[in-house]
Amino acid sequence: MKVLVTGGSGFLGLELCRRLTERGIATSSLARRPSTALERLGVRQHLGDLADAHAVSRAVAGCDAVIHNAALAGVSGPTRLYWATNVVGTRNVIEQCRTHQVRRLVHTSTASVAFRPGGLEGVAEDLPRPDGHLAAYPRSKAAAEALVLTAHSPELATVSLRPHIIWGPGDPHFAPALARAVRAGRLLMPGDGGNLVDTTHLRTAAHAHLLALDRLRQSPEAGGRAYFVSQDDPRPLREIAGHFLRAAGISARWCAVPPRLATAAAAVSDTCLRTVRSPRTLALSRFLVAELLQPHYFDLTAARRELSFEPPIGFEAGLAELTRTAPSAFEGSSKKGRTPCPKPTTPSVPS
C-alpha cells in the first residue's frame, strides 16, 4: 500500500508518517516546505499548496490511500485565508482521489466543528452542527468535513476524525501558547478554569487515524462517518494548564479574568481585526474565549464500537513524557515564568 499524508511535515503529520513507515508502508507527503525529519524517515516529499490542484494531483497519483491532515488552524482571521486551504484544498484532494482512483481517504477534522455557546458535554457525533461558528477556522473545517463525508462512495471510502487539543513532545500549539501567556508568574485566563476539557495526545491522534485507515480497507462501506477521538479523560482546564506549565518547569498562578470582561474584550478585538482586515490567525477572539470558558468533552462510543479505538497512552503517562522532553517542546519559554510576548495574554490555541 502507498499512502500520501498531506501536511506530513507538521506536528501530527510527522507522527503519522513515522507510524506508517514503521509498518513498512510506502509513505509520501505533500507540504509547502521540505522536512529533514521526513527525509530521515525515507518519506517521499512533494512540495506544493493544497489550493494548487496540479500540485495535489502530482502528490496523489499512484497512491492507494490519502490521510488528509493539512489545514490552516487558528482562532481569528478572515474567512478567505481558511477557505483557500481548508475548503478549496479539501475539495482538490477529493477530486484528485477520484481522478487517480484512490480508494480510501481519512480526513483530520476537529471537535471545534461541533462547538457552540454553552460548550460540549459528553456529546456524540449525532449532535447537529451549530447554526453558526464563532470563527472562520471551525466554519471552514465544518465545510471541509461535510465535503469529505458527502464524497463517500463505493469508489472512494471516506472517514473524518475529530481530535481535540492535540499535545505531546514537540507540541507547537497548546502547551507553548500557555507558556507564552505567563506574565511575572501569573497566567491570566478567562474564568476560574473549572470547565472540564478533554485533550488528545499525539500518539492517540495518530493511532486513531491508522485505525480508520485499516477500517476502510477491511470494510469500505463503514465510511461516511465522523468520529470524536480523545483521551476520554476530561479534566478542569486549570488543572491541565498547571500540568503543562509544570512540565516545562514554569511556576505560574492562575489569575481569573471575569468572563464578561474577557468576552467583551474579545468582541472588541474581533471587530477591530475585521475592520482593518487583519490576517492574524492567533489574536484574541470570541471563539478563543468561549473555548477557554466552556466545557468540551465527548462520547467516544462510536469510535470504540466501529474503529476499535482506545487511547494507546494515558494522560499521566503522556504528561511524564512531555516533562522529559520539555526543553525542546517549550522552546522560547522561561523557567522563571516570564516570557516576552505581545498581547493577548490568553493562549491562542486552535482546537
Domain ranges of the chain: 2-171+200-233+296-313
> What parts of the chain have a pLDDT lower than 70?
326-351
At residue 351, the pLDDT reads 55
What per-residue string of b and e applies to 214-242 under the rule 16 or more CB within 10 Å gives b? ebbeeebeebbbbbbbbbbbbbebbebbb
- Angle in degrees, 0-180, between the axes of helices 89-99 and 53-60, rounded to the nearest 10: 40
137 is catalytic: yes
At residue 137, the pLDDT reads 96
Using DSSP's 3-state secondary structure scheme, residue 311 falls into coil
Cα–Cα distance measured from residue 246 to residue 250, given in angstroms and rounded to the nearest whole number? 5
Cα–Cα distance measured from residue 344 to residue 342, given in angstroms and rounded to the nearest whole number? 6
Query: How is residue 288 written as a grid cell?
Result: 478563543
At residue 221, the pLDDT reads 83
Cα–Cα distance measured from residue 348 to residue 351, given in angstroms and rounded to the nearest whole number? 10
Cβ contact 269:235 at 8 Å: no
Which member of 82, 137, 227, 297 is catalytic? 137
Q: pLDDT digit string (tens) for 170-197?
A: 888 888 888 888 887 889 899 999 999 9
Query: How is residue 89 written as a grid cell?
Result: 484544498
Instruction: Indicate the fold that domain 2-171+200-233+296-313 takes in CATH.
Output: Rossmann fold (3.40.50)
At residue 327, the pLDDT reads 57
Sheet holding 26-31, edge to edge: 44-47, 26-31, 2-6, 65-68, 104-108, 157-162, 225-228
At residue 272, the pLDDT reads 94
At residue 171, the pLDDT reads 87
